[in-house]
Amino acid sequence: MVDITQEKVENVGPAEVPEMELYHAHSWWTKYVFCQDAKVIAIQYGGTAVAIGMVGLILSWVMRLQLGFPETFSFISPEAYLQFVTMHGMIMVIYLLTALFLGGFGNYLIPLMVGARDMVFPYVNMLSYWIYLLAVLILVASFFVPGGPSGAGWTLYPPQAILSGTPGSGAGIVLMLISLAFFIVGFTMGGLNYVVTILQARTRGMTLMRMPLTIWGIFTATVLALLAFPALFVSAIMMTLDSVLGTSFFMPAIVEFGEQLAYGGGSPVLFQHLFWFFGHPEVYIVALPAFGVVSDLLSVHARRHIFGYRMMVWAIVGIGALSFVVWAHHMYVSGMNPYFGFFFATTTLIIAVPTALKVYNWTLTLWRGDIHLTLPMLFSIAFIITFVNGGITGLFLGNVVVDVPLSDTMFVVAHFHMVMGVAPILVVFGAIYHWFPLMSGRMLNNAMGQFHFWVTFLGAYLIYFPMHYLGFVGVPRRYWEIGETSFITTPIESLNAFITVAALIVGFAQLVFIYNIIVSVFKGEPAERNPWKATSLEWQTETVPPGHGNFGEEAPVVYRWAYSFSVPGAVDDYIPQNVHPDDVKKIAAAEGD
């Protein structure tokens, strides 16, 4: 194994990064509210993301109630249903997952894991959160304007998104677009921080190839976000102008309710290209941090080094690069040139290569490991299984001829929920169970955690496996009510009701999880220092939770990678990154004989 030989003593170079001049808070306001400490910003980001995510969760319950028991709930009108679909999608993808992985885990873990005292631009980092909060508030405000929030579907395709037949086509869509623009501005501020901190402010000995894979995942995802969000930003500006000023960027000549509108000459397909140029990298903006985090969780809880570290890094980078040339596989039925479909199907299937590499490496990390079935490990294993499932259905949708009949059916819904909804969120849960002791100094309750895990994991399959079948039968998505057709039979209706019941139960389990967090923050069992016996720097701080400035007087010096578990000859089964090779307790040679 090439990777394990990193034990060899290396002379660590002199400090190149100047000591950071930290901003010290003087009052309650600057310590807890307008705080420049990345750890507090991380918790602010995480809390806001989870709060808006709860809104998204409740919207999904309402949608499921309508699908499972049509004609039962009078308050769910067709318009409201479409609005719930739209808001649920947008909230979950952008305001929950992107913000939680990058703003939440990114802020908390980047400085700690690379051995920095804080982000390089703490003030800009703070602004990033407040602009994100503003974006969330604008989004929420759209629930309360005349006409309600946009009902255009989370993809917001024009021309329908701004035509009066679509719910929320007035103020709703404009607020949505403005909120997105603010989100992007805020994210850019944070994203620049993450990238520069990782590239330029690592501690002594922390080469890029010694960084934990969590950091690699977050880093690559941030780069993707910085390059992909501009397309959404520009299309948000252009659609706002189309809606407010009556320009025709995306609007062709169009007749609405028998009346010729003033629009003409725009290109609706342009929006789809721009949207998916952002939208596909967005999938990996969510998935890559999950890949990185899960690699670390598996390694720590299986007491074994990650298999093929270099391969994992290159796979992350490769997936990131490829994700920019696959976007039109979302547009096979948009009427674009069919030769495009051939190109994009090919690139899409090529992505399976680095992704499969990662799955093999995760599995090989577990192989002959000392697997501890802790909650983070359970969630990580669940992630691998779920991700493989989602990847396999991706093969169906990536091929043009198979995709065309499956387009806009429940199969698509099941696929992307499995691969970019359930899979990353399982990692989020695993990561919270793993890092909660670091963030709060207390353990989460294990019994509630086990309940949460099994209900969520098994429940997700009860929801989404039948949904694939519904899609094959031809049940369309985004339909308020299916009604009577020759192919929608009674079993289909019962299956829909079954999915709804499963979804409500899984939703309930999330409430247990939130309850667990709230109770454990105050009354949880106090965590010992480094309870999982992890090697990476965030666990080697002087105090738990780490204080202002993260590390003590001396910044840590790194001598090895983050995966020195079960090293032959060492007494402990883990060697932290910052332990000098001479200080590693070795089994005496005599005992070895």
Partner 1 sequence: MTEANVTHGAGPGDRPDGLQGVVADFASDQRAFKNVHWGKAMMWIFLLSDTFIFSTFLVSYMTVRMSTVVEWPIPSDVFALHMFGADIPLILIAIMTFILITSSGTMALAVNFGYRQNRKVTTLLLIITALLGASFVGMQVFEWSKLIHEGVRPWGNPFGAPQFGATFFMITGFHGLHVSVGVLFLFIVARKVWRGDYDVGRRGFFTSRKGTYDIVESMGLYWHFVDLVWVFIFAFFYLW
Residues that bind partner 1 (CB under 8 A): 10-18, 21, 120-121, 123, 188, 191-193, 195-196, 199-209, 226-231, 233-235, 237-238, 241, 245-249, 252-253, 262, 264-267, 270, 274, 277
Give least dist CB 200 to partner 1, A.
5
Q: Which is nearer to partner 1, 127 or 495 (CB)?
A: 127
Give least dist CB 389 to partner 1, A.
33
Sign of CA dihedral 371, 373, 378, 380: negative
Q: Which is nearer to partner 1, 230 or 474 (CB)?
A: 230
Q: Which is nearer to partner 1, 11 or 486 (CB)?
A: 11
**Rounded CA gap, 591 and 579, in Å?**
23
Give least dist CB 127 to partner 1, A.
11
Give least dist CB 16 to partner 1, A.
5
Q: What ranges in 323-445 are assigned the alpha helix state H?
A: 338-366, 375-398, 400-406, 410-416, 423-440
Q: Which is nearer to partner 1, 203 or 323 (CB)?
A: 203
Q: Which is nearer to partner 1, 8 or 523 (CB)?
A: 8
Give least dist CB 373 to partner 1, A.
35
Contact 182, 174 (CB under 8 A): no
- What ranges make up the beta strands (E) of 244-308? 255-256, 259-260
Give least dist CB 558 to partner 1, A.
9
Angle of CA points 133, 144, 81, to nearest 5°: 100
* AA identity, residue 146: P
CA-wise closest residue to 436 among 512, 516, 550, 381: 516
**Rounded CA gap, 424 and 324, in Å?**
20
**Burial code of 152-173, b = ≥16 C-beta within 10 A, e = fewer?**
bbbebbbbebbbeebbbbbbbb
What residues contact residue 388 under an 8 Å CB cut-off, 6+ apart?
359
Give least dist CB 101 to partner 1, A.
19
Q: What ranges in 69-121 are assigned the alpha helix state H?
A: 78-90, 107-114
DSSP 3: G
Q: Which is nearer to partner 1, 189 or 502 (CB)?
A: 189
Q: Which is nearer to partner 1, 117 or 417 (CB)?
A: 117
Sign of CA dihedral 96, 98, 103, 104: positive
**Rounded CA gap, 535 and 547, in Å?**
19
Q: Which is nearer to partner 1, 156 or 375 (CB)?
A: 156
Give least dist CB 189 to partner 1, A.
9
Give least dist CB 203 to partner 1, A.
7
Q: What ranges in 302-337 are assigned the alpha helix state H?
A: 309-322
Q: Which is nearer to partner 1, 167 or 186 (CB)?
A: 186
The tokens for 460 are: 């997700």
Contact 209, 306 (CB under 8 A): no
